[in-house]
Amino acid sequence: MDPDPDEDLVRRVASGDEAAIQSLIGRKLPRVLSLATRMLGDPAEAEDVAQDVFLRVWRNAARWQSRTARFDTWLHRVALNLCYDRLRRRKETPSDATLELVDSPGVDLAQSEDASHRVEQALQGIAERQREAIILTYYQGLSNIEAAAVMEVSVDALESLLARGRRALRAILAKDTDNG
Amino acid sequence: MGENVAMNPERFAALADAYGAQIARWPDAERAAAAAIAETAQGKEILRRADKLDALLDSHRVAPPSANLRAQVLRQATEKFKKKRVVRWRIGLAGVGFAGVIVGMIMATLLAPSVYFSLSHNTPGAETTAFGDIASGSMSLEEED
């Protein structure tokens, strides 16, 4: 395994170094937040997840061992687990907010915002594991090997999820264009 | 997948289906071979189709973390590490206290006056207690038997 680029920073965080803490927040918070926002389709819930992820970072920094996994891989896994907890809870008790999220296309948005909104809805419309695969490789920029490690699947399985996910997105977005 | 898979138009299409139109996002081991196919008419058409979806995906924007969220996360860290420091300080204090007790005990042993009571036979009156002379008493009982 290549050296972990975050190893030194995490070690300094574990000793309570305030500059390192600030640096880790600057480096990782945007990544965690965008991952959670795209997985959940709800910015407020994504913020809660981001806070929970960082609580775990502060709690576990001293015990962190770079030999077992890269810090970024571990961080993605923690964030995804927290997202899945919330997605599971949503299925058990669908709230008004969730329904509103899926059924609210009619807001007056500028064209670029509208495109972003359509993609967001399409992402929420595909299977969770396909969404996870696309977010990790396309938006988070993880390599196929890193994404497969986070998802605990083989690279073959990852490619299958990606291809099916992109096909499903294309179908939803094409239908959306036809209806629009 | 990757190193053991021969590059051909089918594999090229499968990679575009999975990773999109930018070959830079494809697995390292297959990029060089894919670049050659990307120059063909078939390759260009595959990439053009994949690029249409990429353009839509790129339009999806996520707001950066708010100042409030950053402050909240930083506050959590400050509180967490402050608690850890307090625990470490208390452990340190307890350690210093314990060391103090040990040092005190050693000092007490070293500096105490060298007065002690000996029960050796050479000390006059050593066999005498408040109940009389132990040694002579036992002797006299044996004699009576």
Residue A60 in contact with partner chain B when CB distance is under 8 A:
no
The pLDDT score that the predictor gives to residue A136 is 98
Nearest CA in chain A to B14: A163
The pLDDT score that the predictor gives to residue A63 is 86
A138 to B57: CB separation less than 8 angstroms, yes or no: yes
The pLDDT score that the predictor gives to residue B133 is 47
Nearest CA in chain B to A14: B81
Q: How far is A11 from chain B (nearest CA, A)?
A: 13
Query: CA–CA separation, A57 vs B51, rounded Å?
Result: 37
Q: How much is the ipTM here?
A: 0.84
The pLDDT score that the predictor gives to residue A106 is 42
How long, in residues, is chain B?
145
The candidate with the shortest Cα–Cα distance to A27, out of A42, A10, A43, is A10
Nearest CA in chain A to B59: A116
What is the Cα B15 distance to its own chain's centre?
41
Q: In chain B, what are the domain boundaries?
A: 9-59, 69-134
Residue A163 in contact with partner chain B when CB distance is under 8 A:
yes
Write the DSSP string, B47-82.
HHHHHHHHHHHHT---PPPPHHHHHHHHHHHHHHHH
Dump pLDDT digits (tens) for B24-79.
Answer: 999 999 999 999 999 999 999 999 999 999 999 999 999 999 999 999 999 999 99
Q: How far is B36 from chain A (nearest CA, A)?
A: 21
Residue B120: which region, alpha, beta or left (left: phi > 0; alpha: psi -120 to 50)? Answer: beta
A 10 A CB-CB count for B135 gives 12
Q: How far is B113 from chain A (nearest CA, A)?
A: 49
Q: How far is A89 from chain B (nearest CA, A)?
A: 23
The pLDDT score that the predictor gives to residue A139 is 98
B81 to A137: CB separation less than 8 angstroms, yes or no: no
Residues of B in contact with A59 (CB under 8 A): 80
Nearest CA in chain B to A156: B1
Write the DSSP string, A85-139.
HHHHHHHHS--HHHHHHHT---S---HHHHHHHHHHHHHHHS-HHHHHHHIIIII
Residue A30 in contact with partner chain B when CB distance is under 8 A:
yes
**Local mean pLDDT, 10-residue blocks, chain A (180 residues):** 88 95 98 98 97 96 82 96 96 60 44 86 97 98 95 97 98 77
**Average pLDDT across chain B, whole number:** 77
Q: How far is A35 from chain B (nearest CA, A)?
A: 9
A30 to B64: CB separation less than 8 angstroms, yes or no: yes
Residue A27 in contact with partner chain B when CB distance is under 8 A:
no
Residue A120 in contact with partner chain B when CB distance is under 8 A:
yes
In chain A, % helix, strand, coil (3-state, to 5) comes to 80, 0, 20
B25 to A173: CB separation less than 8 angstroms, yes or no: no
B77 to A123: CB separation less than 8 angstroms, yes or no: no
Residues B19, A167 contacting (CB under 8 angstroms): no
The pLDDT score that the predictor gives to residue A94 is 63
Residue range B112-125: mean pLDDT, rounded:
51
Nearest CA in chain B to A46: B65
Residue B1: which pLDDT band, with cuts at 50, 70 and 90?
low
Identify which of B53, B60, B70 has the shortest CB distance to residue A120.
Answer: B60
Q: Is the pLDDT of residue B120 over 50?
A: no
